[in-house]
């Protein structure tokens, strides 16, 4: 069974629609992250959370919001999707208690297309 799961795996939507991407983990990690991946740009951090009450903006948070519903669940919302938000979105987790707490474990990704 996958430790970090994302739903949906693929989504096509139209400009202006509200979209929610969901992430769940069974690793018991406290930290969770949302990234987007674009060709030639690597992974860029959108939001991260250290626990249910701690949410932080990453380098490209404009146009996105997040919710940490439980330690195991972290969702990403696009309130009004626009075409330049077309990308691959990845959720990741890390364990603050690990010797090098920054090693991250990624979900399989969501391919989002905004028309």
Partner 1 sequence: TQLLEQSPQFLSIQEGENLTVYCNSSSVFSSLQWYRQEPGEGPVLLVTVVTGGEVKKLKRLTFQFGDARKDSSLHITAAQPGDTGLYLCAGAKVDSSYKLIFGSGTRLLVRP
Instruction: Kindly list the residues in this chain that would bind partner 1 in the complex (CB under 8 A).
Output: 4, 31, 35, 40-45, 48, 50, 58-59, 90, 92, 94, 96, 100-109
Rounded Cα–Cα distance for residues 14 and 53 (Å)? 32
Rounded Cα–Cα distance for residues 16 and 7 (Å)? 20
Nearest distance from residue 54's CB to partner 1, in Å? 11
- In the chain, where does DSSP find H-type helix? none
Q: Which of 38, 46, 40, 113 is nearest to 74 (CA)?
A: 46
Q: Kindly tell me which of 18 and 98 has the beta carbon lying closer to partner 1.
A: 98
Rounded Cα–Cα distance for residues 81 and 113 (Å)? 9
Q: Kindly tell me which of 73 and 111 has the beta carbon lying closer to partner 1.
A: 111
Nearest distance from residue 100's CB to partner 1, in Å? 6
Nearest distance from residue 99's CB to partner 1, in Å? 10
Q: Kindly tell me which of 43 and 72 has the beta carbon lying closer to partner 1.
A: 43
């Amino acid at each position: 069974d996958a430790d970090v799961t994302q739903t949906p795996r693929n989504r096509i939507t139209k400009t202006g629609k509200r979209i929610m991407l969901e992430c769940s983990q069974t690793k018991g990690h406290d930290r969770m992250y949302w990234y987007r991946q674009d060709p030639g740009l690597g992974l860029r951090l959108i939001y991260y959370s250290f626990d249910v009450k701690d949410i932080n903006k990453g380098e490209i948070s404009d146009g996105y919001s997040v919710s940490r519903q439980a330690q195991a669940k972290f969702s990403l919302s696009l309130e009004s999707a626009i075409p330049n938000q077309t990308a691959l979105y990845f959720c990741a987790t890390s364990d603050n208690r690990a010797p090098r707490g920054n090693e991250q474990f990624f979900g399989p990704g969501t391919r989002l297309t905004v028309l």
